[in-house]
């Protein structure tokens, strides 16, 4: 980014609410940090953050949609999210001094974004109380939501837990082909947090309802079935 003026010209094209938020957030950003920032276009389907990779950049996604799934408890998937609009992603780990990203986030659509090296971003946060407070508010809100979602997850029945897990696993697949779950039912039960017999009943029920197919003892999920699972999730599960 050559100058703050270039940044301002880019965000002026956004909706008023988005422009105001970004203008406020970056109002105290040091010039040397602004100069490290790059404006990029992210292709649909590309990973922006990848679980287990080194934290190199913080991203401000200003247009487009991103989605991902967190695994915050061993074997238990309890937090799913999908955002559109302004999203600052990739700064949780640097704030916590964790060297690797803990989640994978992909572009659902073509996205426009600013990316800032983590070291420059943290230098900015140490100097700018306003930006730090704005991010702290987001962290506090997100933590409260995650705690609420975790409690809700623990109250879900086995079928609904299985739906969340299959959605998360489907979204981590590579390519555009239909998904085949290759692990054993015992491993699946461990991930979902129940026993094998209950998982078997849940699989049969989901197959009868058209959410998945069973062939040669393995779970298969097509794009259409995935969309049906997502629709069920949005209407009935954690974020409903």
In the predicted model, is pLDDT for residue 106 greater than 90? no
Q: What is the pLDDT of residue 238?
A: 57
Hey, where are the domains in the chain?
4-153, 156-236
The string of pLDDT tens digits covering residues 196-226 is 999 999 999 999 999 999 988 899 999 999 9
**CATH 3.40.50.11610, domain 156-236, yes or no:** no
Mean pLDDT of the chain: 85
Contacts 24+ apart (CB under 8 A), 171-177: 171/67, 171/68, 171/69, 171/106, 172/69, 172/104, 176/223
Measured CA distances, 46 to 68, 98, 174, 218, 225 (Å): 12, 23, 10, 28, 22
In the predicted model, is pLDDT for residue 81 greater than 60? no
Least confident range of 48-57, 136-145, 148-157:
148-157
Nearest CA among 233, 84, 99 for reference residue 171: 233
212 vs 148: CA distance, rounded Å = 29
User: What is the third-level CATH fold of 4-153?
Assistant: Jelly Rolls (2.60.120)
In the predicted model, is pLDDT for residue 76 greater than 70? no
Q: Is the pTM of this model over 0.85?
A: no
Give alpha helix (H) positions in 12-128. Answer: 16-25, 31-34, 92-96, 118-127
């Amino acid at each position: 980014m050559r100058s703050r003026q270039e940044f301002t010209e880019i965000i002026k094209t956004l909706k008023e609410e988005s422009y105001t938020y970004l203008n406020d957030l970056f109002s105290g950003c040091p010039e040397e940090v602004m100069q490290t920032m790059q404006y990029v276009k992210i292709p649909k389907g590309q990973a922006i953050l990848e679980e287990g990779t080194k934290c190199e950049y913080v991203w401000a996604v200003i247009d487009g949609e991103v989605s991902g799934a967190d695994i915050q408890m061993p074997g238990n998937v309890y937090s799913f999210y999908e955002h559109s609009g302004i999203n600052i992603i990739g700064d949780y780990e640097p704030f916590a001094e964790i060297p690797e990203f803990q989640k994978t986030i992909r572009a659902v659509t073509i996205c426009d974004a600013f990316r800032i090296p983590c070291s420059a971003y943290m230098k900015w946060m140490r100097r700018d109380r306003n930006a730090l407070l704005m991010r702290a508010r987001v962290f506090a809100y997100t933590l409260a939501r995650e705690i609420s979602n975790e409690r809700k997850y623990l109250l879900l029945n086995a079928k609904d837990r299985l739906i969340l897990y299959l959605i998360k696993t489907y979204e981590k697949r590579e390519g555009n082909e239909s998904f085949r779950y290759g692990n054993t039912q015992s491993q699946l039960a461990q991930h979902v947090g129940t026993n094998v017999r209950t998982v078997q009943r849940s699989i049969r029920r989901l197959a009868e309802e058209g959410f998945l197919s069973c062939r040669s003892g393995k779970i298969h999920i097509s794009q259409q079935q995935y969309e049906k699972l997502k629709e069920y999730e949005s209407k009935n599960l954690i974020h409903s």
